[in-house]
Amino acid sequence: MSPSPVRALVAANLRRHSRDKVGLFFMVVMPFVTILFVGMALGGSGSGQDRIPIGVVARDSDPVATAVLRQLETSHDLAIERMDAEEQVRSGVRTGVLAAGLLIPPGSTDLELVMTQTNGSGMAARGMIDVAVGKVAAVLEAVRAAEAAGASPAEAEALVRKAQASSARVAVSTSGAAESSTPRGFAYTAPANVLLFTFVNSMAVAAALAESRRLGMIRRSLAGPVRERSVLLGEVLSRLIIAIVQACLIMVVSTLMFDVSWGDPLGVAAVVGSFCLVSTGAAVLVGSLVRSPSQAPAIGPPLGIVLGMLGGCLWPREVAGETLNMIGYLVPHGWGMDALITLTKPGKGLGSVLTEVAVLLGMAVLLLGISLVVFRRRMRTSN
C-alpha cells in the first residue's frame, strides 16, 4: 500500500482539525477546567495518598476536646487544622478546602460534625471522626464505670489505661478495602477526564468524517490512484491520532499542573492506547452512520457523556450503587477507569490490568470492525 494517500488524508484531516476553534477549545481548555473544578470538589489531591483535611474548633483546656484531638491526630490519614471560629470551619467545608469539620463545645460531649460532601473524602473523614469520637466516648464510659464500681478517679484511669493497653493488642486488619478504595481529588478526575474527553472529542471529530463524505472528498480521492483501504486507513488513523493527542495532552498537563501520579507507564500506555482505539472505532462508526455532519455532534458527545457517567468518569462509581456499577462494565469507560485507578496503587503494573486491557481491545476490534464495514458500504453507495 502506498503511504502517500494515507499521509495526504491524515495531514489534511489534522490540519482541518487544528483550524476548528471550537474543537480546540474542547480539546485543550475544557478538560483542564473540568479536572480543576471537579478535582477540587473531590479533595484536590494529585497522588490520592494525601491526608484528608479536617477543621476543628475546640478549647485546649477542655478534657473531652483534648482527648478527641489526641485521638484524631493518631490517624495518619487525617490532617487536623485547628481553627478559632465555627464560621471558618463552615466556610472551609463549603468551599471544599476541608473535607469535614468538627465543633467541640466547651464542657460538652455534644459534638457537631460539619460536612457537605457526600463523596469519597467527605465520607472517609466522617468515618474516621466517628471512630475517634467513639474511642474517646468508650474511655469516658469506662472511667465512669470504674468510678461507679468504687474506684477512685486515679485508680479508674489506671484501670482504663490497662484495658486500653490490652485492647491495643487486638489488631483488626482490613483486606481489600485499601485496594478497592478510590483515589481522591485530581488523582481521580485526571484519569476520569482522560477517558471522558478522549471519547467525547473523538465523537465530536466524527462530524469531520461525515463532512468529508458530504463534500465529495472521499469519492474524489477514490477517483485517483488510491486503494479503498488506503482511504479507510487514512481516515481511521486521523481519528486515532486525535484521540492519542487528546489523551497525552491531559496526562502530561495534569502531571505537571496537578501533580497527578499515573503509575506504571507501560500499563498506562496499554490502557490508554486501547481506549483510544475504542474511541476511534466509535468515532468512525458514528461518522459513517450519520447522514449529515450536523448529526454527529448532536449524537456523539452526548453519548460520550452518558457512557462516561456509567463508567465512573463523572463521579466515583462507589457512590453510584451496585446496579449502575454493573452497567458500567458494559461500557469501555468502566474498564478504563478500573485499570487506571489500579495502576495508581503501589506495586501495580501492566500485569494487574491485563483483563481490562483485553476487554478494551476486544471492544476496539468489534467497534472498528463494524465501523469499517459501514464506512466501506457508505463509500460505495455514495458513488
Partner 1 sequence: MTATLSCTGLSKRYGDILAVQDVGFFIEKGEAYGLLGPNGAGKTTAISMLVGLLQPDTGSVQVCGHDLAADPLAAKAKIGYVPQEIALYPDLTGRENLRFFGRLYGLPRRELAKRIDEVLDFVGLSDRADGKIDTYSGGMKRRINIGAALLHRPEVLILDEPTVGVDPQSRKAILDGVEQLVADGMSLLYTSHYMEEVERVCKRVGIIDHGKVIAEGTRKELVSTLGSADRVELVLDGDLDVATDKLRAVEGVTEAVRAGTSSIRLIVNEGSHLLPTLIAAVRGIAVVTAVEVIEPDLEAAFLHLTGNKLRD
Q: Which residues bind partner 1 (CB under 8 A)?
A: 2, 4-5, 7-9, 11-12, 15-16, 19-20, 215-217, 219-227, 383
Instruction: Name the strands in the sheet holding 112-114, side by side, starting at the edge strand that comes first in the sequence.
Output: 78-82, 52-57, 100-103, 112-114
Q: Which is nearer to partner 1, 19 or 76 (CB)?
A: 19
As measured in angstroms, the least distance from the Cβ of 375 to partner 1 is 16
Q: Which is nearer to partner 1, 10 or 307 (CB)?
A: 10
Cα–Cα distance for residue pair 378/383, rounded to 1 Å: 9
As measured in angstroms, the least distance from the Cβ of 369 to partner 1 is 24
Question: Which residue, among 311, 318, 301, 274, has the nearest Cα to 30 in the 3D structure?
Answer: 301
Alpha-carbon torsion (361, 325, 370, 295), positive or negative: negative
As measured in angstroms, the least distance from the Cβ of 276 to partner 1 is 24
CA distances to 55, 63, 73, 273 from 78, rounded to whole Å, are: 10, 21, 7, 36
Cα–Cα distance for residue pair 12/25, rounded to 1 Å: 20
Q: Which is nearer to partner 1, 98 or 226 (CB)?
A: 226
As measured in angstroms, the least distance from the Cβ of 9 to partner 1 is 8
As measured in angstroms, the least distance from the Cβ of 282 to partner 1 is 24
Tell me the sheet residues that pair with 80: 54
| The dihedral formed by the CA atoms of 23, 26, 29 and 30, expressed in degrees to the nearest 10 | 170
Q: Which is nearer to partner 1, 204 or 307 (CB)?
A: 204
Q: Which is nearer to partner 1, 161 or 229 (CB)?
A: 229
As measured in angstroms, the least distance from the Cβ of 5 to partner 1 is 5
Q: Which is nearer to partner 1, 296 or 359 (CB)?
A: 296
As measured in angstroms, the least distance from the Cβ of 242 to partner 1 is 15
Q: Which is nearer to partner 1, 219 or 348 (CB)?
A: 219
For the record, the C-alpha cell of 293 comes out as 455532519
As measured in angstroms, the least distance from the Cβ of 7 to partner 1 is 6
Cα–Cα distance for residue pair 350/174, rounded to 1 Å: 25
Q: Are 302 and 193 in contact (CB under 8 A)?
A: no
∠ CA 278-334-183, rounded to 5°: 125
Scan for cell 470492525, then name that residue.
369
Cα–Cα distance for residue pair 308/94, rounded to 1 Å: 27
CA distances to 108, 140, 170 from 167, rounded to whole Å, are: 27, 15, 5
Pairing of strands 100-103, 78-82: unpaired
Q: Which is nearer to partner 1, 11 or 131 (CB)?
A: 11
As measured in angstroms, the least distance from the Cβ of 380 to partner 1 is 9
Q: Which is nearer to partner 1, 20 or 147 (CB)?
A: 20
Pairing of strands 52-57, 112-114: unpaired
Within 13 A of 282's CA, how many CA atoms are on the CB side? 27
As measured in angstroms, the least distance from the Cβ of 233 to partner 1 is 13
User: E strands, the chain, where?
Assistant: 52-57, 78-82, 100-103, 112-114
Q: Are 305 and 284 in contact (CB under 8 A)?
A: no
Q: Which is nearer to partner 1, 8 or 319 (CB)?
A: 8
